[in-house]
Amino acid sequence: MKKDYIIVNNLTHTYGDFVALNNISFGITKGDIVAIIGPNGSGKTTLLRYIVGLISAKKGVVSVGGKSPKDMRKHIGYVPQHFTFDRTIPITVQEFMALESCAKIEHECKNIKKALRAVGMQKFARQKLGTLSGGQFQRVMIARALLHEKDILVFDEPATGVDVAGEQTIYDLMKHINKERGSTCIIVSHDLSIVSSYVNTVICINKTLVCQGSPEKVITPKKLKALFGAATGVYHSH
């Protein structure tokens, strides 16, 4: 059996008295494409924040490549679910991208251009960030996550605010990077038909691990009913 690259072991997270993750354990192998699914409020975003090293585990263990996620942060590209900023800030797309590596644009120009090209946003490099549409901004966030050939890509509902064609592009890109670089990809998505066709492994969570396996094994009416409840349709959970 392959050794797990990302390990979550007995992780519990509370917000005050509220338990958001309850003793959750699972592993992800290197180079896998994984979808994390679960109802709203099931702890998906909280879990990703541990994996990318924004929260340190107090109850339980999270490790990436045998290290603490915090020490692996520069190898992890993360597209958060919510990223808000003041739209009046006079910063261009390429300046925003350069912030990711604390570098001057001149030093990063080639990498920034390449990443923006990958998401079809090369023409917007000098445009002010605040003038982009929601979908365009989301593409820039993805380009930012692609800088510096990351070992791990973590996307939290990246298709939010993106049209169907754009959504396809995001997933195609992820698949391409996975194939080219062997990057491990983790994606939170509500679109189960996309999940089925793009990922190798599905992890179902509802505060704790409900099930884990191939899309064929996990995305079945019975398992989805157990995860999302009786009122949920099979293919569109929201």
**Contact positions vs ligand ADP (CB under 6 A):** 15, 18, 20, 38, 40-46
Q: How far is CA 151 from the centre of its chain?
A: 13
Provide, rounded to whole angstroms, the least separation between the CB of residue 121 and ligand ADP.
Answer: 26
Q: 93 with 139: CB under 8 angstroms?
A: no
Q: Are 64 and 72 in contact (CB under 8 A)?
A: yes
Give the type of residue at 162.
V
Stretch that binds Mg ion, among 2-10, 11-19, 75-83, 108-116 (CB under 5 A): 75-83
# residues near Mg ion by CB under 5 A: 3
If one asks whether residue 45 binds Mg ion (CB under 5 A), the answer comes out as yes
The minimum distance between CB 141 and ligand ADP, in angstroms, equals: 17
What angle, rounded to 10 degrees, do the helices at 105-118 and 134-146 form? 120
Phi, psi of 19 (to 5 degrees): -90, 115
Shortest spacing between CB 186 and ligand ADP, in angstroms:
13
81 binds Mg ion (CB under 5 A): yes
Partner touching 144 among Mg ion, ligand ADP, none, CB below 5 to 8 Å by kind: none
Max CA pair span of the chain: 55
Nearer to Mg ion (CB atom), residue 81 or residue 168 = 81
Do residues 223 and 181 lie in contact, with contact meaning Cβ atoms separated by under 8 Å? no
Total number of residues shown for the chain:
238
Between residues 48 and 116, which has the closer beta carbon with respect to ligand ADP?
48
The least distance separating ligand ADP from the CB of residue 35, rounded to whole angstroms, comes to 13
Any bridge partners for residue 64, and if so which?
6, 67
User: What's the min distance (Å) between Cβ of 98 and Mg ion?
Assistant: 28
Using the rule CB under 5 A, give the single segment among 40-48, 119-127, 135-143, 147-155 that binds Mg ion: 40-48
Half-sphere exposure of 108 (CA within 13 A, CB side): 21
Q: Looking at beta carbons only, is 98 or 154 nearer to ligand ADP? A: 154
Question: Which of Mg ion, ligand ADP, none interacts with 15 (beta carbon under 5 to 8 A by kind)?
Answer: ligand ADP
Contact 144, 137 (CB under 8 A): no
Residue with tokens 């079809």: 120
Residues forming the site for Mg ion (CB under 5 A): 44-45, 81
